[in-house]
């Protein structure tokens, strides 16, 4: 008689052996099975900051840290959309060009056709969403691989960008509303108020989470673990508010970026659509048999991701005060994909978080910013970024094998 296969063990029910050896064994198990969450990224970011600070103390100055956050807002917004694509186990090679084309549409409507700022901004984002929906429909209806469709989009939309800009090649932005997106700084009092509200929300979320786990019969961690986690996050929020206070204030662009990520994380974790995204990424055929409209999920994800790429392009245009033929090109796409992967989103689909875009963008932006302060060449910057991406992808692959061995995927 064939023995019945054992059910996978919930990792939350595994208790480490006492002593240092047990703690070390438990740590290695969590590393192998990818249960450390964002901790490796946070530790890596701290190491990067320590290295650059030791080389140039200006790196951690309030002015430079504020500039760093402003620099990553646009790329991080594009990366947030790519997180959605990667959660499906797909890829989008056109995100960078779509961001530039959408910004160009916004600029042409506002500057050349004298549209008001708000309709111009809405049209730019709608342009990106329409392109994403087109990609999604082509992929799902004709079953063409996403790599091929978005590679074709990379080429075609680059041509569309040149066509939209016309002979001038560059459009300078002059509308105060559009320029205010990246050029406005709120008073320090607002920064402290938002930090306090975020700390209060974290505390309330921890209490609600404990009650839900208890009601579901799941293990509830000790109070000291939640208190320590909230205290660390509150200190980080206070540190960020202090940095803005010592500089020009709270940048609106950073608020928009964090707000987008927060809304996207809520969509993924608290809605049926978000659960469907993870289900499709974990196994499209299993999701289809469970009654999920897989093709519709893919089309909506591509449309939303491209809309976020458009928003990132508009943020970049507002900061640079212009749109030109190189908007969205260069290393924009590669940095956005690298940020999503480095932040912890799996290349294999089904695992990740919108906050990956924030952490990954901080890593990529810190490397770029720090090397600029040290006057290092672009060649060194690309090599270091590539090495960090390779390490992150390797950790993801090792974690996937560990979870497979544990019977969790």
List, for residues 141-196, the tens digit of each pLDDT value: 999 999 999 999 999 999 999 999 988 889 999 999 999 999 999 999 999 999 99
Q: What is the average pLDDT value for the chain, to the nearest integer?
A: 87
Q: What is the mean pLDDT of residues 372-401?
A: 80
Bridge partners (DSSP) listed for residue 251 = 185
Q: Which pLDDT score is estimated for 30?
A: 58
Higher pLDDT, 193 or 398: 193
Domains and CATH numbers, the chain: 40-185+249-396 (1.10.3470), 188-244 (no CATH)
CA distance 266 to 198: 14
Determine the 3-state secondary structure of 8 from DSSP: coil
Query: How many residues are listed for the chain in this entry?
Result: 409
Low-confidence winner among 314-318, 341-345, 393-397 (lowest mean pLDDT): 393-397
Query: Token pair for residue 392?
Result: 């992150």
Q: What is the mean pLDDT of residues 348-355?
A: 87
Instruction: Judge whether 115 and 109 are in contact, CB under 8 Å.
Output: yes
Bridge partners (DSSP) listed for residue 186 = 250
Q: What is the mean pLDDT of residues 249-256?
A: 95
End-to-end CA distance of the chain: 26
């Amino acid at each position: 008689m064939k023995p019945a296969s054992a059910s996978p063990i919930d990792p939350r029910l595994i208790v480490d052996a006492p002593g240092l050896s047990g703690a070390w064994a438990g740590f290695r198990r969590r590393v192998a099975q990818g249960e450390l969450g964002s901790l490796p990224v946070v530790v890596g970011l701290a190491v990067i900051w320590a290295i650059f600070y030791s080389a140039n103390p200006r790196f951690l100055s309030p002015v430079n840290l504020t500039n760093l956050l402003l620099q990553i807002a646009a790329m991080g917004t594009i990366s947030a959309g790519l997180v959605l694509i990667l959660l499906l186990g797909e890829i989008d090679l056109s995100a960078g060009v779509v961001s530039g084309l959408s910004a160009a549409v916004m600029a042409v409507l506002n500057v050349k056709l004298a549209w008001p700022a708000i309709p111009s901004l809405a049209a730019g984002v709608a342009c990106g969403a329409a392109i994403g929906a087109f990609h999604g429909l082509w992929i799902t209806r004709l079953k063409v691989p996403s790599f091929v469709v978005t590679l074709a989009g990379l080429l075609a939309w680059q041509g569309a960008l040149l066509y939209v800009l016309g002979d001038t090649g560059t459009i300078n932005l002059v509308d105060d509303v559009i320029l205010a997106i990246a050029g406005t700084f709120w008073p320090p009092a607002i920064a402290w108020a938002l930090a306090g509200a975020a700390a209060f929300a974290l505390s309330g979320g921890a209490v609600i989470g404990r009650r839900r786990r208890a009601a579901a019969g799941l293990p509830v961690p000790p109070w000291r673990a939640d208190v320590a986690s909230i205290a660390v996050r509150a200190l980080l929020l206070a540190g960020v508010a202090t940095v803005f206070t010592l500089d020009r204030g709270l940048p609106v662009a950073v608020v928009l970026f964090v707000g987008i990520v927060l809304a996207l994380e809520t969509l993924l974790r608290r809605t049926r659509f978000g659960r469907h995204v993870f289900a499709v990424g974990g196994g499209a055929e299993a999701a289809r048999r469970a009654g999920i409209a897989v093709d519709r999920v893919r089309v909506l994800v591509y449309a939303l991701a491209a809309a976020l790429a458009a928003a990132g392009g508009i943020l970049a245009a507002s900061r640079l005060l212009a749109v030109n033929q190189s908007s969205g090109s260069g290393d924009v796409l590669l940095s956005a994909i690298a940020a999503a992967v480095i932040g912890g989103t799996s290349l294999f689909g089904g695992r990740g978080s919108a906050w990956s875009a924030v952490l990954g963008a901080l890593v990529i932006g810190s490397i770029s910013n720090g090397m600029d302060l040290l006057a290092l060449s672009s060649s060194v910057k690309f090599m270091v970024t590539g090495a960090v991406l390779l390490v992150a992808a390797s950790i993801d692959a090792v974690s996937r094998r560990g979870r497979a061995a544990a019977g969790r995927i």
